[in-house]
Structure 1
Amino acid sequence: MYIFTLYKKKIKELALEEYILIRIIEIAIIMDFLVLLFNNFAASFQATTLNFIFLICLLGLYYIALFKHWLNIALIGFILCLVLLLTFAWFFNHGILGDAAYFFISMTIAFSIILKNKNRILIPIGVLILFLGLVVLEWYNPTWVILYENEIYHKWNMIFSISLNIILVYSVVNILKKEYEANRKNLEKTSNDLSEKNKILEASESTLHSQNENLQQLNQAKNRLFSLISHDLRSPLAGTQGLIELAYKGDFPVEKIKELLPEMHQSLSYTVSLLDNLLFWSKSQLYSYEPEIKELDIAETVRKYFLPNLQIMAKDKQIKITLDFQIHHALGMIDYNILEIVSRNVCSNAIKFSPNNSEINIILDNYDDFLNLKFIDQGVGMNPHHIDKIYKGVLFSTKGTSNEKGVGIGLNLCQELLQKCNGSLEIQSEMGKGTTVIVKIPKARLKQ
């Protein structure tokens, strides 16, 4: 039991070439033992002795190959033993008409299969040259060959030898086939492992790429935010601060201050509106703001909560804001704060680019799965280039009809926030003919 366990352990430790050589030597040992038994009854004493010596040599080669791992020594010794055995067997076993000729052929085939590199060609050629040399030698010296005394033994020896040669070739091919299958499975396993690792690397690369894009977007958002704070938010505050300092020091007449109060009010209103937008926009950009989407009556919300503030915004330019709701109870799915910010910014933008004493009409209707909240003004209109910039999220500065400041963050913010609620922003405009901004809100259900 211990010997068998040790044998299995040693076999597992073998490299491919060592394994093949060990199997070939095992086959040779079994075949030589069978030939030894046969020759003991059918052949001469010299042939039997020769087979016995060869068996001892094979056992020695088997030991140094399996336990010492001396592959090259075992291989060279195995080839030399075979050559010497078959050479002597040629003369002791009926020459070319005996079994040695078949073993020469089988050995040539086996060596051409199991050997590597140049040896695969050189050694089989050497064996064939030896075979031809023995044929020539027998041709000129036929008396050197010992013939079988009994023809029956000769026939049985040929049948036995041919059978052993067939078994030898089959065994070699079968060993190589098994090793090929084992190598193929190992290659498939290695290929699958590499494929899995490649998938993991691709997933990691994709994750890193996504994280890099997010970082770039956050960096761009940070730069845009600082740019807005440093210029568009600071400028009106600095101007107001200057006027207050002059008034505080008494260097500015009270009457002049009263004249500038409307301008200061407009500047502060713009600043507060911009600050609200900046705070909400920075929150959505830097902290991944998640909206609280719920069922909301759009008509009631706009009429009851938003309209009064919108009318106050339009008062300075004496712009009239009217409602034309074709649906009086329309339920949409949207965040309340987002709807308020979008309505305020869209209406503020309409007021900014509308002339004094004009009108802004707010219409609510439905189309397919959306409620359309339309803001229609009679202003200067927008050129396609500016509309394209808004869709792409590009900030730009344009003054209103009364030189109101602006950087375009309002409609950009509206578009981003509506997308978070599965809605969208659509702009229809023509220069000199006003603008229609459509806020598309996903429908919940309609109350008739």
Structure 2
Amino acid sequence: MLKSYPLSFFLFILFFTPTISFGSYFEEFGTKADSLLYRYQNADSDREKLDLLSELVKVIHYSDSAQKYYPEAIRLANKLGDHELEAQNLNRLGVYYRNMNLQEEALKLYEEALVISQKNNNPVQIGHSLNNIGQIYFYKDLFEESLEYYKTAEANFLKVDNKEGLAYNYTGMSPVLGALGKNKEALEVINKAIAIRQEQGNERQLLVSKFNRSVLLMSMGEYNNVEEDILNLYHYGITYDKIRAIHALEKLVELNLATGKISQAVQFAEEAKALHGQRPNSESIIEIYEMMYELYFDRGNTAESKNYLALLEEEKEILSAERIKNYLAGLTIKKQKDEIAALSRENELMQSNQKFKMYITFALLMLAFSLFVALSIYYRSYKKEIFNIRRLKEKQLKIESQAAELNRLNIEKDKIFSILAHDLKAPLDSLWGMVKLINEDNLSQEEFESYLPILSQNLGNNSMLLENILIWSRSQMRGMNSQFSTFNLYQLVEQNISFLSGSGYYKDQILENYIPKSIEIEADKTMLEIVIRNLLTNAMKFTSAHDKITVALEEEDRFYTVSVSDQGIGMTEAGLSKLFGHDFYTTSGTHHEKGTGLGLLLSKELVEKNRGEIWAKSQIGSGSTFCFTLPKS
């Protein structure tokens, strides 16, 4: 069974830069890189350091090792006024951050490089910056905007007849045109890129461009005369880059399935599986496993289809874990970048201070300054060093605190993933099972209707859980700023009562709103709505049919107290003591509803962001009351 052409494949082939592992890359360029690094470390002038450093990062551009040298290259270029190398290194550092999936950070660097290049009227660097910005817009599915950037970049490269820039430009523009349904134009521009690379004799880039053309032709349903170019990239990859070899095998599997050569497709799939064991490439192997699973499933080969399904699920979990790891590593890099910049400025200050001390000492020796003046200057310098040491110690403590905070975020992340794995997976598995039963005509209409209320309740619970998880995660990772406004509290409560009366939490309870209709409060409306909804949902979870749930308000001198009371099952003193703590605490509801305790933790945080406090009162069998305060405006 042939799958439709995935746009994401173009993204991976064209823009996933680290296609050469540094191990194999180092084997090819290690001696040159070592030589450049040695010469840079022993260079005397900033000009020589900049030239050597820029050449070094160009050689090891595909390696993570390059990242630590880019900031120094950018600083030296700015200091010396070499705006071409400054823009060039900003663009390359942006590529590194883009590959770490820090797209906004990459975009800032591209835009900074563009401004510098435009100020200095450098068409080549302007073109490269526009190309890179076009890639980011392509990632965001803003194809029209992406195409506009590529067209402008093309005009700049044509202005100075820069063939290399045009080859990259046409290679990037081709998938954008394909995404816009302009396949004929996409084919024309990729052929232009191929012609340029043939003229320049760039074998590796030529193989990639021809492979991209084959992928484009396959997406158009044209399978003739594409196998040779795919095989050429495959043979190149076997020798130099097994990641690309697996890319090529993925398209060979797809091509042979489309043309009915099943045995050849199976052979290529098995070879890809073996290569994947040597040099993992989850993106392509997942596509191959999906195709093989569908093939055996359609042929009724249950054993093989189950085997590939198991491999597929395992690989997806590996890919998910790897992306999470890269994302957290990216966040760490982003934090450390700011710290490194601050420490670099501190180091420059200390170096400047040391030079100043040397000059003073020399001047004292030459001019025979009095001992009193010498001691005075030395004492001031000593005090300054003590001050600097204290500041460095404070910086160290701050970094350690940030490391502890990152560890805390990792622990909270693990809790969130545990919730996702256990509390979200079950209803989705039930829904998937029902869909399979329906597809196989194994579920009667009566059975189908009997499952609907259960699925509706489970999916409704998960909708609330997901909303809480997303808001809580954003709060933990980036922080949330309160946006205060004045609004009617009665209407806010009434809207949420109306909404929840039609949800899976409703069991014919009596919901009553005793908030005075005239009460206007100043708070963050979105945050307060989440708090009200969580407290009402919690009350509905632990009550039965005809139990009463009320929302009321008491007015004090400087604040309001809002309460949500229920006639539910209540809780013990031990249960009360665990609420609003650092751990997720929950119990099953009257209909065995599951929860995570995240809603109450989130409510506590949001109430505190609105300058209030939250607490609970309860007795077993007598219901519960949750209260929170809001300051008067």
For normalisation by structure 1, the TM-score amounts to 0.56
Aligned to 1:253: 444
Shift of 1:383: 2.7
Shift of 1:420: 1.9
**Aligned positions of 1:282-361 closer than 5 A:** 282-303=473-494, 305-313=495-503, 316-325=506-515, 327-361=516-550
Q: Distance in 1 between matches of 2:380 and 2:586?
A: 62
Kept after mapping to 1: 8 A contact 2:427/2:459:
yes
Aligned to 1:266: 457
Q: Distance in 2 between matches of 1:219 and 1:201?
A: 27
Aligned to 1:120: none
**Aligned positions of 1:368-379 closer than 5 A:** 368-379=557-568
Q: What secondary structure does 1:354 align onto? A: coil
Q: What secondary structure does 2:538 align onto? A: helix
Q: Distance in 2 between matches of 1:430 and 1:411?
A: 18
| Structure 1 position 432 matched with structure 2 position 618 | no
Shift of 1:219: 1.7
Classify 1:335/1:10 alpha carbon distance in 2 versus 1 (closer, same or farther; 3 Å).
Answer: closer
Classify 1:11/1:400 alpha carbon distance in 2 versus 1 (closer, same or farther; 3 Å).
Answer: closer
Shift of 1:315: 7.1
Kept after mapping to 2: 8 A contact 1:300/1:329:
no
Classify 1:217/1:296 alpha carbon distance in 2 versus 1 (closer, same or farther; 3 Å).
Answer: farther
Kept after mapping to 1: 8 A contact 2:505/2:541:
no
Q: What secondary structure does 1:386 align onto? A: helix
Shift of 1:374: 0.7
1:419 to 585, 596, 608: 608
Deviations 1:84-138 (A, max 9, x none): xxxxxxxxxxxxxxxxxxxxxxxxxxxxxxxxxxxxxxxxxxxxxxxxxxxxxxx
Aligned to 1:402: 591
- Structure 2 residue identity aligned to 1:442: P
Q: What secondary structure does 2:514 align onto? A: strand
Shift of 1:209: 2.9
Classify 1:381/1:189 alpha carbon distance in 2 versus 1 (closer, same or farther; 3 Å).
Answer: same
Identity over the aligned pairs, expressed in percent? 27
Classify 1:253/1:12 alpha carbon distance in 2 versus 1 (closer, same or farther; 3 Å).
Answer: closer
Q: Distance in 1 between matches of 2:556 and 2:471?
A: 29
Q: What secondary structure does 1:391 align onto? A: coil
Q: Distance in 1 between matches of 2:609 and 2:447?
A: 47
Deviations 1:206-236 (A, max 9, x none): 3213322332232223222212211111111
Aligned to 2:365: 13
Kept after mapping to 2: 8 A contact 1:369/1:442:
yes
- Structure 2 residue identity aligned to 1:238: D
Aligned to 1:171: none
Classify 1:248/1:192 alpha carbon distance in 2 versus 1 (closer, same or farther; 3 Å).
Answer: same
Q: What secondary structure does 1:245 align onto? A: helix
Q: Distance in 2 between matches of 1:385 and 1:286?
A: 31
| Structure 1 position 241 matched with structure 2 position 432 | yes
Q: Distance in 2 between matches of 1:387 and 1:284?
A: 25
Deviations 1:50-102 (A, max 9, x none): xxxxxxxxxxxxxxxxxxxxxxxxxxxxxxxxxxxxxxxxxxxxxxxxxxxxx
Q: Distance in 2 between matches of 1:209 and 1:272?
A: 37
- Structure 2 residue identity aligned to 1:312: G
Q: What secondary structure does 1:277 align onto? A: helix
Classify 1:255/1:11 alpha carbon distance in 2 versus 1 (closer, same or farther; 3 Å).
Answer: closer
Classify 1:333/1:202 alpha carbon distance in 2 versus 1 (closer, same or farther; 3 Å).
Answer: farther
- Structure 2 residue identity aligned to 1:368: D
- Structure 2 residue identity aligned to 1:352: K
For normalisation by structure 2, the TM-score amounts to 0.40
Kept after mapping to 2: 8 A contact 1:313/1:348:
no
| Structure 1 position 386 matched with structure 2 position 575 | yes
Shift of 1:363: 0.4
Aligned to 1:226: 417
Classify 1:355/1:268 alpha carbon distance in 2 versus 1 (closer, same or farther; 3 Å).
Answer: same
Deviations 1:12-41 (A, max 9, x none): 4289xxx89xxxxxxxxxxxxxxxxxxxxx
Q: What secondary structure does 1:269 align onto? A: helix
Kept after mapping to 2: 8 A contact 1:360/1:378:
yes
Q: Distance in 1 between matches of 2:441 and 2:373?
A: 99
